[in-house]
């Protein structure tokens, strides 16, 4: 059986559905995709193509007119405990003047809020008013999620001002989250734009104006996500450049040290061989002379590196 079913009159008064379709207003029927009664209900009340869209295993946001109705899929932020927010939940809809069918896979909190309002006796007065109200609730939650992500990216950008701060550990995950949200919100923007532009008789001007605002919010959300992805990429690039610079500086210092000590190592190695005939082995001041020569060679090496502008 459906999760809920309400008959809603033209004044927005909702009552539990019973019997035949209402003579005025519309009927809202809400199903879970796993409901065994769903195929029979769709076979009796919904054309084949919209019925297939409602039961498809995978969906993307869309808006397509079909006969006198609309096939509409929207997505909202996943507020369930079984998944992250960026794993957006789908709402599948078949909208006509007298029947509104919604199908979910996971719990959709925006629909549950509208269900609670209908149980209290109030609901949108027309199917398109229902769609406009639902899309506004979905987009409000999407906006909140995008703004919260923006605040976290602002905190990440603070690390750019301090070269000693390490790369934010959650940068990669936040970047993936933004990409996944962008993946779903882009098609949702297109679906809402197509919904506003549709010439369906269901779409009256007040609803068109309301939905146009939701389409604009979706556009802003996409633009904000694009900007956040670019900003996180810039943070990653900055830290990568700093790490490369430090590695190059460390390698440079090691190269200078090696260049200075290379002749010293050669000379001490040469005079350290244990064979007969080494000069100075019987002279008391020979070690002091060797140390002095090493100091002179070190100064000469530093002078030569300075002259070559290597240091």
Confidence of residue 163 (pLDDT cuts 50, 70, 90): low
* Percent over 90 (pLDDT), the chain: 48
For the cut 80, the answer to whether the pLDDT of residue 296 exceeds it is yes
- Burial letters 128-144, b for 16+ CB under 10 A, else e: bbbbbbbbebbbebbbe
Looking at residue 170, its pLDDT comes to 85
Kindly tell me the burial class for residue 201, based on how many C-beta atoms sit within 10 Å of its own C-beta (0-12, 13-18, 19 or more).
exposed
Confidence of residue 164 (pLDDT cuts 50, 70, 90): low
Describe the strand order of the beta sheet including 89-95 as a list of residue ranges. Answer: 14-16, 4-8, 26-32, 99-104, 89-95, 69-76, 62-66
Confidence of residue 82 (pLDDT cuts 50, 70, 90): low
CB 37 within 8 A of CB 11: no
Answer yes or no: is 247 within a domain.
no
DSSP assignment, residue 75? E
For the cut 90, the answer to whether the pLDDT of residue 303 exceeds it is no
For the cut 90, the answer to whether the pLDDT of residue 119 exceeds it is yes
Confidence of residue 85 (pLDDT cuts 50, 70, 90): low
Looking at residue 286, its pLDDT comes to 81
Answer yes or no: is 268 within a domain.
no
**Phi and psi, residue 132, nearest 5°:** -65, -45
Looking at residue 280, its pLDDT comes to 73
Looking at residue 300, its pLDDT comes to 87
Higher local confidence (pLDDT), 130 or 57: 130
Which domain does 32 fall in, by range?
A: 4-242
Looking at residue 66, its pLDDT comes to 92
Write the DSSP assignment of 217-235 as a string of letters: HHHHHHHHHHHHHHHHHHH
| pLDDT tens for each residue of 241-280 | 888 888 888 888 888 888 888 888 888 887 777 777 778 7
CATH of the domain at 169: 3.30.460.20
Higher local confidence (pLDDT), 129 or 307: 129
Looking at residue 81, its pLDDT comes to 64
> How many domains does one find in the chain?
1
Confidence of residue 129 (pLDDT cuts 50, 70, 90): very high
The top-scoring range by mean pLDDT among 26-30, 84-88, 195-199, 298-302 is 26-30
Kindly tell me the burial class for residue 310, based on how many C-beta atoms sit within 10 Å of its own C-beta (0-12, 13-18, 19 or more).
exposed
| pLDDT tens for each residue of 1-18 | 899 999 999 999 999 998
With the C-alpha atoms ordered 262, 266, 267, 272, is the resulting torsion angle positive or negative? positive
Looking at residue 264, its pLDDT comes to 85
Residue 92: count other Cβ atoms within 10 Å of its Cβ: 22
Answer yes or no: is 116 within a domain.
yes
Measure CA 56 to chain center.
25
The least confident of 98-102, 119-123, 261-265, 268-272 is 268-272
pTM: 0.77
Answer yes or no: is 272 within a domain.
no
């Amino acid at each position: 059986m459906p999760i809920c079913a309400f008959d809603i009159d033209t004044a927005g008064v909702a009552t539990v559905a019973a019997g035949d379709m209402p003579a005025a207003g519309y009927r809202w029927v809400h199903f879970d995709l796993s409901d065994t009664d769903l195929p029979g209900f769709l076979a009796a009340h919904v054309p084949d193509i919209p019925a297939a869209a409602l039961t498809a295993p995978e969906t993307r946001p869309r808006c397509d007119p079909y006969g006198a109705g609309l096939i509409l899929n929207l997505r909202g932020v996943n507020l369930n405990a079984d998944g992250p927010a960026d794993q957006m939940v789908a709402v599948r809809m078949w909208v006509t003047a007298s029947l509104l069918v919604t199908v979910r896979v996971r719990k959709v909190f925006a629909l549950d809020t509208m269900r609670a309002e209908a149980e209290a006796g109030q609901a949108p007065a027309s199917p398109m008013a229902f769609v406009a109200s639902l899309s506004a609730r979905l987009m409000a939650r999407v906006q909140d999620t995008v703004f919260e992500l923006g605040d976290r990216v602002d905190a990440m950008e603070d690390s750019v001002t301090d070269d000693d701060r390490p790369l934010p550990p959650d940068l990669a995950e936040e970047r993936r989250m933004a990409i996944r949200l962008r993946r779903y919100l882009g098609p949702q923007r297109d679906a809402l734009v197509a919904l506003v532009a549709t010439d369906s008789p269901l779409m009256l001007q007040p609803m068109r104006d309301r939905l146009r605002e939701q389409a604009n919010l979706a556009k802003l959300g996409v633009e904000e996500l694009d900007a956040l992805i670019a900003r996180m990429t810039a943070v990653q690039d900055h830290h990568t450049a700093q790490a490369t610079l430090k590695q190059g500086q460390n390698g440079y210092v090691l190269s200078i040290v090696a260049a200075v000590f290379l002749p010293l190592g050669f000379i001490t190695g040469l005079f350290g061989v244990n064979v007969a005939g080494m000069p100075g082995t019987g002279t008391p001041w020979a070690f002091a002379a060797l140390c002095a020569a090493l100091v002179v060679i070190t100064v000469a090496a530093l002078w030569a590196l300075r002259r070559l502008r290597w240091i």
